[in-house]
Structure 1
Amino acid sequence: MKWTAEQDAILTELYEGETPASVIGKRLGRSVQAVRTRAFRLGLTDPQRTQRVAKIMAEDRGLGAYISGRSARQKGCPKVVPGGLRPVARAYWLAGWHDVDMELGHSVIAEGAA
């Protein structure tokens, strides 16, 4: 299936707006690989953009915040959520911080009752 000028315009607009390729693909009825290939052929690809989008997607899923929380706990940092995180990311950060408790064998219930 050939790309139309209208699809190219939509691809360009969404791609430059840092919309993930998977979302663009669904909108245009194309595979992620087809979107990436077309973007490359249109001269839209940018390695820094790819890194920003990957980071945004990870943050949307909470993965980055979760890993950050785990890392903070493993380093012995206090339970202070970094400012600027959205509420969902704050929850993931705290989940990562508390998961280390389980791995270290701490029980908030048992220790709180003592």
Structure 2
Amino acid sequence: MRFAYWSRELAGWGLIAIGLWQFWNTYVLLTNRRIFEAGPAAFIAFVVFRGGLHLLKVAVAAQAARSLADSAVPHTRKASRMATRSVAPTSVKSVIPGPKSRAVANGAAD
């Protein structure tokens, strides 16, 4: 499995080198006033360069994930429950007395 990491790393650096070389070719085309040929060359260079960067990011992420799996120790702890409030309807006695609930406020409950 270690080979997969290094192969991604080497392929990423290779694609970056090819992308930079293609950018150089684009620069040479532009200095020779070959504008129409330089457009597709710049696009190809951009795609290849970004592909190399992506492979490098994937290789580093794979290495980090591999080292995390070695050092990860499962911590078990007792699950505690939080105190919960009731979601039931409000009791009649806790309602603020108003015009319609004077009987309840005076103690005459249903």
- Structure of greater relative contact order (alpha carbons < 8 Å, 6+ residues apart): 2
The alignment's TM-score, normalised by the length of structure 2, stands at: 0.24
> Which has the higher Rg, Structure 1 or Structure 2?
2
